[in-house]
Amino acid sequence: MTTAIRIPTVRLTVTSVQVDVLLAALHDGAEYRRDRAAGYCLDCQCEPGKLCADHARDLDTADDYDDLAAELEAAPASTALDGAA
Ligand SMILES: [Zn+2]
C-alpha cells in the first residue's frame, strides 16, 4: 500500500531579471556546498571512502539547488504588460 504525500505549493510571478538573480544564487550556493563537501573533515576521515553526514548533506543540498535551477530554466516564460488593455 502506498501513501500519497501532499506537498504544499506556492505560486508566484517573477520577472526574467529576478529569475537570473535566483539562478545565479542557486549556482553560487551549489558551488559553495560542493566546495564545503570537498573539505573532507576529521569525521569524513572516520568514514573511509565516504563523507560524514554533514558533508554528504552538502552534496544533497547542492543537487537540490541544481534541480531547482533546472526547473527555473525550463519554466515557460510569458509576457504581460502592466496596465495593458
Ligand atoms: Zn566531513
Question: 58 in a domain, yes or no?
Answer: yes
Indicate whether 51 belongs to any domain.
Answer: yes
Per the structure, the count of domains in the chain is 1
pTM of the model: 0.79
Tell me, yes or no, whether 9 lies in a domain.
no
Residue 81 located in a structural domain: no
Residue 66 lies in a domain: yes
Q: How far is the CA of 68 from the centre of ligand 1 (A)?
A: 25
H or E element, residue 26:
helix 16-37
52 CA → ligand 1 middle, Å = 4
- Please tell me the distance from the alpha carbon of residue 66 to that of residue 49, in angstroms, as a whole number: 24
User: How many angstroms does the Cα of residue 55 sit away from the middle of ligand 1?
Assistant: 5
Q: Tell me which amino acid residue 47 is.
A: E
pLDDT in tens, 27-59: 999 999 999 999 879 998 887 778 899 999 999
Range of the domain at 28: 23-73
Ligand 1 centroid to residue 8 C-alpha, Å? 32
